[in-house]
Amino acid sequence: MQELLNTPGEAGALNDADLTLLPIRDLLKSRFFIPAYQRGYRWTNIQVEQLLDDILEFKKLNGPVSDAPDAPFYCLQPVVVKKRARNGQPEWEVIDGQQRLTTILIILHYFNKTEFKTERPLYHIQYQTRPDSETFLANLEDAALAAGNIDYHHMHLAYQTISNWFDALEEAHIGERSELYPVLVKNIKVIWYQVDDSSGRSDTVPVEVFTRLNIGKIALTNSELIKALFLQRGNFENGKVTARQLQIAAEWDTIEKQLQDDAFWFFIYDIANPLKYENRIEYIFDLMKGKQPEDEHYHTFNRFVEELARTRLPADRDKASLLWTEVKKYFLSFEEWFGNKEFYHLVGFLVDCRVPISTLKKEAEGRTKKAFRAYLDRQVHEQVKGDIATLDYDHQNTRKVLLLFNIQTLLATRNADFRFPFYRYKKDNWDIEHVRSRTAQQVTAGQRHHWLTGVLEYCTGLRETTAEHQQAAVAALREGEEKVIAQQILAILPEKRVGDNVFEALYKRISQHFREHNLPGDIDHISNLALLDSGTNRSYKNAMFPVKRKRILDNDKTGIFVPICTRNLFSKSYSSRMSDLIYWEASDAADYLLAMQQTLELYLKTPEPAQ
């Protein structure tokens, strides 16, 4: 869809500058043609009643109908058309939106049948597959005529639904039929797109556009509609149209390019957000207009339409430029935070903790940088406050603390330019991993070959190699316990299934060699946990400390990102004793916890009250 909107001159392109908001009354002299490639009319009573309910709700909220240019209006979803001629008469071929147009026409027919002595003007719809459709649409109440085909049947049901809805309205003394007619024709508008066919391929272009719009029912996005809204020619003085359109379009592309940079995007975007974005600038618009997942699809576009209609400016200024400036200012706040090392890390952390970035943006308004930093510190404290020595694998704050430990370690290194990569943290789905492994019972039958291969790789120093290379490497090992272990693993690996007794005996021998068989302490305690990406975590699940240590340090050497605190831990940088680097002991866990407590002291203690 974006290609359709942004390719000037391409056959079938929807031109950014050609979006128009048309009230129903502006369509009343039009003729519409529904081509054969479209399905027939299929709206249900629920959809018809929803439209009527929305119109009634609009009237209740906005009072008497007004013709003023800034009068509020209710906006229907897009109608996409192409100009054509039939029998010498101009008409519009409807590419998308025929269900809405037909329903509105049925409502207008209802008013003519029940309210007006002299019928009011109506637009005309001709279905290519139903040559007598115009005749039927003038006799919608005729059940016998409706029985002729399925399309007429659904149109007749829609007419009955409309009649019943208005009867219920008057029985409940909510209002009269006639009160909604002026609302319908004056204050209900459609988003009108005219397809530009500059190639002359009049028969193929509408089909292509229809297909691209309707395969999978891909709706026009809010950002596509907002772009067209900003760039429509009526927003600008005649002499400034092209220049201002080009400027806004260029700035739009610059913002979208920055948002397509994952390093920037995952700094401001919470992956738990159910709203997903192909055009990421739409996220900025949704934040500005407070869109929630439960809001209707075009919530954000409708809010911009209303704001554009309300805006009053001197003759020498244009509305679109004013609104676009607000968009740029909103975005530039995030860009400024991204460029500030402290704001980048603290805001990124809070966004990952599900604090809405729109809330942070609102709190930043009117504050100095110093005051905003103090606000961020208080919010971080709220996320991790408490005694971290009480945290374990299942506690909701454990991941937050481990993440903040990495972030604060980087913030404390003032001269380092390195930043925590939120995009990797979110895209790679980082897990909480045990430093010291679980017991043999946690290594399932299906994991045993993989687990033993990891131990063999540690012993030989070879990774992902052939059986011949493994045998040669084991033969070359110095005599000792690790060679015996490697030989036993080589003997077992060719077997399809490693038996329980065989595996448990070998596991016990390996565990004793690596001093992991009887370590004290709670294995799920935070002092035995670290952050790792899920891919690396799965590759050595339940592996023992030296195997994990070797793989992590190998990853770091080959350029695979390893978080700084995880690297420090497996390098035993936090340990007060530097002997026995391949073992993880109770003293190492205690030193690791102490390092966390000292690094996070700023956020664990109660912050100073706001000035």
Domains: count for the chain: 3
Q: In the structure encoding, which two tokens stand for residue 277, read together? A: 């974005």
Is the pLDDT at 499 greater than 60, yes or no? yes
CB 169 within 8 A of CB 179: no
The answer to whether residues 297 and 445 belong to one domain is no
pLDDT in tens, 438-463: 665 577 787 788 788 888 888 887 77
Return the amino acid letter for 71.
A
Is the pLDDT at 176 greater than 80, yes or no? no
Q: For the ranges 1-5, 19-23, 48-52, 534-538, which has the lowest average pLDDT? A: 1-5
Q: Is 277 left (phi over 0), alpha (psi -120 to 50) or beta?
A: beta
The answer to whether residues 174 and 264 belong to one domain is no
pLDDT in tens, 327-374: 999 999 999 999 999 999 999 999 999 999 999 999 999 999 999 999
**CA distance to 181, 218, 297, 309, 608, per residue, from 223 (Å):** 32, 14, 11, 18, 42
Domain that holds residue 130: 2-220
Please, what is the angle between helix 341-352 and helix 398-412, to 10°? 180
pLDDT, position 350: 97
With CA atoms as reference, report the closest residue to 34 among 151, 122, 120.
Answer: 151
The answer to whether residues 332 and 476 belong to one domain is no
pLDDT, position 14: 39
Is the pLDDT at 116 greater than 70, yes or no? yes
CB 171 within 8 A of CB 47: no
The answer to whether residues 214 and 280 belong to one domain is no
pLDDT, position 201: 43
Residue 376 lies in a domain: no
512-518's contacts with Cβ under 8 Å and 24+ in sequence apart are 513/481, 513/482, 513/485, 514/544, 514/545, 514/546, 514/582, 514/583, 515/583, 515/585, 516/436, 516/437, 516/544, 516/545, 516/584
The answer to whether residues 572 and 448 belong to one domain is yes
pLDDT band at 600 (very low <50, low <70, confident <90, very high): very high
The H or E element that residue 531 is part of is: strand 529-533
pLDDT, position 334: 97
Residue 438 lies in a domain: yes
Residue 607 lies in a domain: no
pLDDT, position 21: 80
Is the pLDDT at 211 greater than 60, yes or no? no
Q: Can you say how many angstroms the Cα of residue 289 is from the centroid of all Cα atoms in its chain?
A: 16
Q: Can you say how many angstroms the Cα of residue 121 is from the centroid of all Cα atoms in its chain?
A: 44
The answer to whether residues 150 and 275 belong to one domain is no
The answer to whether residues 322 and 429 belong to one domain is no
Return the amino acid letter for 119.
E
**Model-level pTM?**
0.67
Phi and psi (nearest 5°) for 520? -80, 170
Which class for 219: exposed (0-12), middle (13-18), buried (19 or more C-beta within 10 A)?
A: middle
pLDDT band at 376 (very low <50, low <70, confident <90, very high): very high
Which residues have CB under 8 Å from 245's CB, separation 6+? 16, 17, 231, 233, 236
Sign of CA dihedral 243, 248, 253, 258: positive
The H or E element that residue 133 is part of is: helix 133-137
Residue 152 lies in a domain: yes
Question: Which is more confidently placed, 147 or 262?
Answer: 262
Which class for 186: exposed (0-12), middle (13-18), buried (19 or more C-beta within 10 A)?
A: middle
Q: What is the rounded CA–CA span in Å between residue 431 and residue 540?
A: 13
Residue 22 lies in a domain: yes
Residue 367 lies in a domain: no
pLDDT band at 17 (very low <50, low <70, confident <90, very high): very low
Residue 417 lies in a domain: yes
